Structure 1
Amino acid sequence: MAAKTILILTANPSDTSRLRLDEEVREIQEGLNLSAERDSFNVVSQWATRPDDLRRAMLKYQPEIVHFSGHGAGAKGLLLESDIGEAKPVSGLALSRLFGLFPNVKCVLFNACYSQVQAEAVVKHVDYVVGMTDAIGDRAAIEFAVGFYDALGYGHPVPFAYKVGLSAIALEGIDEVSTPVLKVRKELAETSNERPAAPEPTVSAPIKEPAPSAPPAPKSPPAGSRAVAQPSVMLEEPEGLVPLDSPFYVERHPIEADCYETVVRPGSLIRIKAPRQLGKTSLLVRTLAHAQSQGFETVRLSFQTSDNATLDNLDEFLQWFCCSVTEELDLEDRLADYWKGARGIVRRCQRYFEKYLLKELDQPIVLGLDEVDQVFEHPEIATDFFGMLRVWHEEGKTNPLWRKLNLVIVHSKEVYVPLSINRSPFNVGLPIELRELNTEEIETLITRHQLDFGAHQKQQLIDLVGGHPYLMRAALYQLARGRISLTQLMEQAPTEGGLYSDHLRRHLLNLEADPDLLGAFKQVIPSYQPVQIGSTEAFKLHSMGLVKYDGNAVVPLCGLYRQYFQSRL
């Protein structure tokens, strides 16, 4: 029997802390040399690994086992080296695509901090993958690796070797036994009843936790760990998408859990609706990341990238839609082969998905459609496009091929396009309406900005901006930087020269463009009691994020809006 090749990759970029990688490699080799089946393994090492080195080593050695020793940075990736020796992050998605090309690889060990992210991305192609749920110290990493390969060297299978690695950490009295986690490829787990020994759920069972990210609050890793050292607080500019590894994303229970559970169900559809800047896209990205960690292909398509010319013609629009999805999946554009011959433009699009995309993919796919509000402005396109999505969802209930397609639809505005009840995707699936942060979630966000507020200060801030995620984060960001005091914030916020001037002006322009809404909002602003206005106006103002319901009446969403619009209107 030919010897199995173990490819050991190491990287210790010049701008990261020093690791004892040479000691780890030496002890692994010595342990295997002393083992009963030492002739069954061939160990090759690649030092100071760059992305090109990784690819070439895989091609050259065709390993059965791949071992990475170095630094990890959570969702940002494993840190390989650049051409000048500095850190070069490589994402879990990139690693997953690479390992998908090498079916001979049966086991991967990522001996780096926070590498559970990469393990979950790679395990859909590899039988066994070990990653780290947290920062891991040099001593624990070396002990685990040596114990793991000692067991392999005596002919034991990977799950047993994993347990031996954990026991090696425990025998040394190191309190990091729970850090390594074993992931098992879904198909293998289902057929052999394999179960990881770590306290994590197996990949074959849906989980409600999000795809792993950085720790819940900024902190420095322990000395000698395989994580990149971070300052005590790394503030983020509060604009747009909140990164996956951001500690400033606060979950709104049970919204995320419901999305994570639903998105992995065959043929599912999720509808995420909220006013602008309430976190829709950030939730979408986390939902897709969770699906990807469970073995799904994912595509995030923003309709803001479509131009007016495309949206003026159904044929152009559906071709753009098909090409965009194809490109995101890194597949060959074969639109010309499927667009001809079929009668009806919508039928051509459906045929392209049915006969090509869905059949070409080995895994199910989650299609995340962001900013679909752009389509609402074009009823002649919207009627057919959204009707087609509803048909696809209904097909997934009976057709195994269409059960491979899951949809997540994200929008801000209400759907004013005249869609019949049986042709609308907006009355089926899981509806998610993002709410404001509650008091507990606001306190979590304050803590993560490392601000020490008394009860009165917290209440002042809540009275000003409520639980609006963007407004709250914008205030905390400036307060944490020391650029403004809470007293100054309270005075300046509702003015044209204050922190929220652009945000407030956008709302003012939208109101002025609709006289009916403007008139209704003028009734709401001066009253400190809930006001009953027309149901249509209340519905639209709520959709814009300017008011919240109190029974059938409405009140301004927050004190900031009341103060600003009282002076402007």
Structure 2
Amino acid sequence: MNLDSLFEIVDRLLIESHNRPLNSAENLVLRGIWQYKTYNQIAIEAGYSPGYFTNVVAPELFGRLSEVIGQRVTKKNCQVLLESYAIVEAAPNTKLLKQDLTQFPPTVNQDTSPCYPSGSVPLASPFYLKRSYLEEQIYQEIKKPGALVRIKAPREMGKTSLLLRILDYAKYQGYCTISLNLEQVEQTILSDLNQLLRWLCANIARQLQLQPMLDEYWHEDLGSKVSCTVYFQEYLLESINTPLILALDEVNHIFEHPQVAKDFLPLLRSWYEEAKRLPIWQKLRLLVVHSTDIYVPLELNQSPFNVGLPIQLDNFSQEEVQQLAQCYGLNWTDGEGARQLMAMVGGHPALVHLALYHLSRKEVTLSQLLETAPPASKIYSNHLQRHWATLQKQPELGQAFDNVLNANEAILLDPILTHKLSSMGLIKLSGGQAMASCELYRRFFTKKEQHLALQNQNMN
């Protein structure tokens, strides 16, 4: 449903209930929300005082909409609620459909019921916790000619969920958007620079609905990096009239092929630098997303990881955990539940989501989750076993983490081991010294180490 049709339905509902349609200021607020703008941006662009929409227009508008819809409408959920409600209103058998929706509780396929948290959070999901400051910062950055944004964090911190929203915002701006996940690329392609660059160019052409035309631009004498650059400049960028957002997700998979990484990553950087010299490269806006679990000693002055806008995703705060708990239907208004869960899992987004999901389904109580190891080990089994496997493959890293677990206070580690453990999210730093990032890790890995030590003792 397009925006004008949706607003017509909203107007009709407001006339029926309040005898007044949307006024011009309310119309501006709603259209601004669909364009991911702040109230201040909407006000300044329309010539109003900055606080007018925040303090006057939006509260009154959301109050009226809440009465019509029967649910509390906020800026965050406005788009999802209005679109869902408008679809019901526009249906041929509206009265019957409304009756059915009222008579039967929401099913697990509807947004209001939590699905098992795995992978990225869908765009329309109410269980996405918006990172307002970071998102606004990125939205402003990708509007700049030749921008490069690098998003990094350990696995399961919400990088791909954030990327979905950036691409959605870019589409609303009228930009071309290309999203490529390097996790989907075969190892034979990732291990060969020429094949990787041809794969990149062919996929971008396909998503732009262009003929690949690779052989017309690929010259052995020029080499694959120059051929790829010429292809971008003279074919891809010349074929479009709007900015192109190129999002590369799971770039860490290239790190497993150091020789390819040392050519591919500087190539991205060179395109970013070209935008300062040639206007055509200003059309390209790069989003580079990677997990920090894999450490590779790349040359900083040859990679894109010290240019552009750096974005580091951190753990949720206690206030954010409490906000998310409310989305899952948990009555944690006093903040104590959020505080206790934070003490256990340290605000790690995936661990918080898993806990709240199981708590909302009453499969485990908070006291069980906090006081006994088996429920936590079961809920977080995949996450914990993945880290355990990594530590077992790198004994020096495992020993360093064991030293952290056995210490009564933060300790100093070798810088590279500190970087690796921090990149995995297993430790947090205080004044350059390391401590376990959460109680869950302390309990699980201490018990694992004790069990392993006992096994070795029995074998001897």
Considering the TM-score relative to the shorter chain, is it more than 0.5? yes
Aligned residue type for 1:488? Q
Query: Is the contact between residue 252 and residue 437 of structure 1 (CA under 8 Å) also seen in structure 2?
Result: no
Partner amino acid, structure 1, of 2:13: R
Letter in 1 for 2:319: E
CA contact (8 A) 2:294 2:420 kept: no
Aligned pairs for 1:130-529 (under 5 A) are: 136=10, 138-140=12-14, 172-173=19-20, 178=26, 181=30, 214-215=77-78, 221=85, 225=89, 231=106, 233-340=112-219, 343-413=222-292, 416-417=295-296, 419-453=298-332, 454-492=334-372, 498-529=378-409
Q: Which amino acid aligns with 1:557?
A: S
Partners of 1:496 and 1:489 in 2: how far apart? 6
2:80 and 2:411 map into 1 onto residues whose CA distance is 41
Q: Structure 1 residue 237: deviation in Å?
A: 1.9
Residues 295 and 420 in structure 2, CA contact (< 8 A), matched pair in contact too: no
Task: Tell me, in whole angstroms, the C-alpha distance in 2 between the residues paired with 1:343 and 1:224.
Answer: 58
> CA offsets, 1:223-269, max 9 Å, x none?
98569969493213211111111111112342112111111111011
Amino acid at match of 1:408: L
Tell which deviates more after alignment, 553-562 or 220-229. 220-229
Distance 1:234 1:200 in 2: 32
In structure 1, how many angstroms separate the alpha carbons of the residues matched to 2:200 and 2:417?
A: 33
1:278-324 Cα shifts (integer Å, max 9, x gaps) = 01111112112222211211111110111111122221111111111
TM-superposed deviation, 1:528: 3.9
Q: CA offsets per residue over residues 415-443 of structure 1, 9 Å max, x none?
A: 75554444211111111111111111111
TM-score when scaled to structure 1? 0.64
* 1:537 alignment partner, one of 398, 417, 430: 417
Q: Alpha-carbon deviations, 1:108-161, whole Å to 9, x = none?
A: 76322xxxxxxxxxxxxxxxxxx58xx826434xx6xxxxxxxxxxxxxxxxxx
Question: For structure 1, which segment, 494-503 or 218-227, has the greater mean C-alpha deviation from structure 2 after superposition?
Answer: 218-227
- Aligned length, in residue pairs: 396
Paired amino acid for 1:427: N
Cα gap change, 1:109 to 1:386, in 2 (>3 Å): closer
> What SS is found at the alignment partner of 1:111?
helix
Look up the equivalent residue of 2:112 and give its one-letter code: V
Q: Distance in 1 between matches of 2:235 and 2:229?
A: 10
User: Please, what TM-score do these two structures have when normalized by structure 2?
Assistant: 0.78
CA distance, structure 2, for counterparts of residue 254 and residue 351 of structure 1: 37
CA distance in structure 2 between the partners assigned to 1:175 and 1:311 by the alignment: 54
- Could you tell me whether the CA contact under 8 Å between 2:233 and 2:280 is conserved in 1? yes
Distance 1:556 1:275 in 2: 15
Whose helix fraction is larger, Structure 1's or Structure 2's?
Answer: 2
Report SS of the residue matched to 2:311: strand
Instruction: Please name the residue that 1:555 is paired with.
Output: 435
| Higher relative contact order (CA closer than 8 Å, sequence separation 6+) | 2
Is the radius of gyration larger for structure 1 or structure 2?
1
Secondary structure in 2 matching 1:300: strand
Aligned pairs for 1:80-159 (under 5 A) are: 110-112=4-6, 136=10, 138-140=12-14
Judge conservation of contact 2:316–2:349 (CA < 8 Å) in 1: yes
2: distance between equivalents of 1:448 and 1:567? 34
For the residues of structure 1 that align with 2:312 and 2:31, how far apart are their CA atoms?
36
Distance of 1:518 and 1:477 partners within structure 2: 31
Q: How far is 1:553 from its partner?
A: 0.6
Match of 1:162 in 2: none
Instruction: Write out per-residue CA displacement over residues 57-76 of structure 1, whole angstroms, 9 at most, x where no aligned residue.
Output: xxxxxxxxxxxxxxxxxxxx
Q: Is the 8 A contact 1:216 1:247 kept in 2?
A: no
Q: Does 1:564 align with 2:447?
A: no
Cα separation, partners in 2 of 1:494 and 1:564, compared to 1, 3 Å? farther
Q: Alignment partner of 1:369: what SS?
A: strand
What's the CA shift for 1:494?
Answer: 5.7
2 CA distance for matches of 1:174 and 1:496? 52
Amino acid at match of 1:505: Q
C-alpha distance in 1 between matches for 2:360 and 2:23: 33
Q: 1:256 to 1:223 in 2, by over 3 A?
A: closer
| Alpha-carbon distance change, 485 to 216 in structure 1, aligned in 2, over 3 angstroms | farther
2:63 matched to which residue of 1? Answer: none
Q: Quick one: structure 1 residues 515 and 224, their matched pair in 2 at CA, closer, same or farther if it must change by over 3 Å?
A: closer
Q: Distance in 1 between matches of 2:382 and 2:243?
A: 41
- Higher share in strand: 1
Q: Report the AA paired with residue 160 of structure 2.
A: T
Cα distance in 2 between the residues matched to 1:550 and 1:265:
36
Secondary structure in 2 matching 1:254: helix
1:86-118 deviation line (CA, Å, top 9, x unaligned): xxxxxxxxxxxxxxxxxxxxxx76322xxxxxx
